[in-house]
């Protein structure tokens, strides 16, 4: 199987970034993506069912995360970006970040070591640190969060492509651990609803049996209230795809069908997948 662990999905997504970077009308440029993906990343996309057709939503996700991260740093005073399950993300090297910013990538040792071997000759734009930690192990995770929280004022936590691989209980535990740090001001994440989770599991479940999709909350961002977070902003996958001109093939049909649906049903379609910026509750 092309995907043998969750870490392999980082190569998969990196290859999508490489495909976007090659385009003359690219909405972002990641000059490191092709090397980070390696031949394994291309093989995953080639072997997954409809692998290339899945590119638009993940490319849109990358672009929206770029926009929100940049905004929190420039306009809202974020002094640290804490990138959990960072995978092969190259934002500390490719985004125009202020030199005073601190950025921490946290992930499992193997994927961090691989990324370091690729990026060792490139200087990041800001203060950069990579920390090996198992985010599902409270004995490792919580002291790490406490150290980071005590050293910074306004932390933006980023979990791109993480929560879908966790169980609901693991997502709640992670949210509570993040909320326990008063300086953790925002949590930027992506999620899908049960409808999308079911569709993707049906089409890609066998190929992803070593990295199964698990989390798709029926209540959307309201799921995170129990762990102390509320929705500050939501970026619909459908709306963002249209704005950025990177739509899934069926998106125009969904919009056409939406003309005949109630406002409530249209909003349900808008929120089938997307990016959410959460803010901490008092």
- CA distance linking residue 142 with residue 177, whole number of Å: 6
Q: Are 236 and 274 in contact (CB under 8 A)?
A: yes
Does the pTM of the predicted model rise above 0.75?
Answer: yes
Q: How far is CA 240 from CA 41, 93, 234, 253, in A?
A: 25, 25, 10, 16
Nearest CA to 276 among 236, 223, 225, 239?
Answer: 236
Eight-class DSSP state of 148: H
- CA distance linking residue 267 with residue 236, whole number of Å: 10
DSSP string covering 43-89: HHHHHSTTTGGGHHHHHHHHHHHHHHHHHHHHHH---EEEEET-TT-
Q: How far is CA 42 from CA 13, 15, 98, 168, in A?
A: 10, 6, 33, 31
Give helix 251-258 / helix 237-244 axis angle, nearest 10°.
120
Nearest CA to 30 among 129, 105, 122?
Answer: 122
Give one word for 50, left, alpha or beta, with left for phi > 0 and alpha for psi -120 to 50. left
- CA distance linking residue 266 with residue 221, whole number of Å: 17
The SS3 call for residue 192 is: strand
- CA distance linking residue 26 with residue 267, whole number of Å: 29
Per-residue pLDDT of the chain in tens (282 residues, 90 and over written 9)? 578 888 899 999 999 999 999 999 999 999 999 999 999 999 999 988 888 888 999 999 999 999 999 999 999 999 999 999 999 999 999 999 999 999 999 999 999 999 999 999 999 999 999 999 999 999 999 999 999 999 999 999 999 999 999 999 999 999 999 999 999 999 999 999 999 999 888 877 788 888 899 999 999 999 999 999 999 999 999 999 999 999 987 778 877 887 888 888 888 888 999 999 999 998
């Amino acid at each position: 199987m092309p995907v043998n662990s969750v870490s392999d999905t980082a190569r998969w997504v990196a290859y999508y970034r490489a495909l976007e970077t090659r385009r003359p009308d690219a909405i972002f440029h990641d000059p490191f993506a092709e090397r980070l993906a390696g031949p394994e990343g291309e093989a995953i996309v080639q072997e997954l069912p409809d692998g290339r057709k899945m590119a638009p939503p993940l490319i849109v996700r990358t672009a929206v995360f770029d926009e929100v991260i940049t905004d929190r740093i420039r306009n809202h005073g974020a002094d640290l970006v804490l990138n959990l399950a960072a995978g092969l993300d190259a934002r500390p090297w490719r985004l125009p970040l202020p030199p005073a910013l601190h950025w921490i990538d946290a992930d499992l040792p193997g994927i961090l070591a691989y990324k370091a071997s690729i990026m060792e000759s490139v200087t990041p734009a800001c203060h950069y640190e990579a920390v090996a930690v198992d985010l599902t192990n409270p004995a490792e995770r919580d002291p790490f969060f406490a150290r980071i929280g005590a050293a910074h004022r306004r932390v933006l936590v980023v979990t791109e492509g993480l929560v879908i691989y966790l169980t609901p209980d693991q997502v709640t535990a992670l949210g509570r651990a993040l909320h326990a740090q008063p300086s953790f001001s925002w949590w930027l994440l992506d999620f899908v609803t049960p409808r999308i989770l079911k569709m993707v599991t049906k089409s890609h479940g066998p190929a992803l049996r070593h990295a199964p999709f698990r989390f798709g909350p029926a209540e959307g961002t309201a799921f995170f209230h129990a762990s102390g977070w509320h929705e500050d902003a939501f970026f619909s996958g459908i709306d963002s795809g249209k704005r950025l001109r990177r739509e899934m093939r069926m998106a125009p049909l969904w919009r056409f069908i939406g003309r005949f649906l109630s406002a409530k049903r249209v909003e349900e379609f808008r929120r089938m997948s997307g990016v959410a910026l959460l803010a901490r509750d008092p």
